[in-house]
Amino acid sequence: MAAGEVLDTAALIAWPLERMRGSLVVPSQRAELSRISPDREIMLDAAALEWASPGSAAIARASGLATTTGDMAGLSPVDLELLALAIERAATLATDDYRLQNLCELGGVPWLSVTMEGISSLWSWELRCTGCGAVLPSPDTPSSRRELGNCSDCGSTLKLSRKRD
Ligand SMILES: [Zn+2]
């Protein structure tokens, strides 16, 4: 029995109801789901999900992580709440969103993929300067919160970018 999993909307659509029993979801996913898959939304009442909103401290921590990596602009409010809820409950985040997976890696939040194999097999990452565009070797163990630092050439902020092999 999986304890403490936060499910993104892809999981809500793809997983069998029995697999998601007792999992955590945020209320704003309901609107998202009713737009994408209304039939599925109706079925979810049988899954005994726990609908919960993260507190402001967890939202602030999730926002801080996303700002550090430069992922903030690509995240939806729902994504940010899911990440914050996983942080707050020390839960595992089930998501195929590579941004969320990356943020989990950096924030030390456990994650699992919903249907895909996850970022490690799909993407590699590089540290890129937001100023001059210089590329630095990517951190190989991004498992804890870290400052990504500044460019040694121009002093601008570094951010993680994905790179296709
Ligand atoms: Zn630079």
Q: What is the CATH number of the domain that holds 140?
A: 2.20.28
Q: Say yes or no: 35 and 12 in one domain.
A: yes
Q: State whether 69 and 138 are in the same domain.
A: no
CATH number at residue 58: 3.40.50.1010
CA of 60 to the centre of ligand 1 (A): 28
Same domain? 73 vs 152: no
Under the phi-then-psi rule, with left for phi > 0, alpha for psi from -120 to 50, and beta for the rest, what region is 149? left
- 51 and 106 inside one domain: yes
pLDDT at 83 (0 to 100):
97
pLDDT (0 to 100) of residue 36: 87
Show the domain range for 46: 5-112
Q: Is residue 54 part of a domain?
A: yes
Q: Are 104 and 110 a contacting pair, CB within 8 Å?
A: yes
Which residues have CB atoms below 5 A from the ion given as ligand 1? Answer: 129, 131-132, 134, 151, 153-154, 156
- Same-domain check for residues 24 and 54: yes
Tell me what the mean pLDDT of segment 130-138 comes to.
81
Which range (83-87, 90-94, 131-135) has the least confidence? 131-135
**What is the CA(49)–ligand 1 centre distance, in A?**
46
CA 84 to ligand 1 center in whole angstroms: 31
Tell me how long the chain is: 165
pTM of the predicted model as reported, rounded to 2 decimal places? 0.69
The C-alpha atoms of residue 93 and residue 101 are separated, in whole angstroms, by: 8
Same domain, 73 and 108: yes
Q: How far apart are CA 141 and CA 159, in angstroms?
A: 15
Is residue 117 in some structural domain? no
Tell me the HSE value of 75 on the side-chain side, using a 13 A CA sphere: 27
32-90 per-position pLDDT tens digit: 888 888 888 888 888 899 999 999 999 999 999 999 888 888 888 999 999 999 999 99
Q: 104, 147, 101, 65: which is closest to 139 by C-alpha?
A: 147
Q: Ligand 1 centre from 158 Cα, in Å?
A: 8
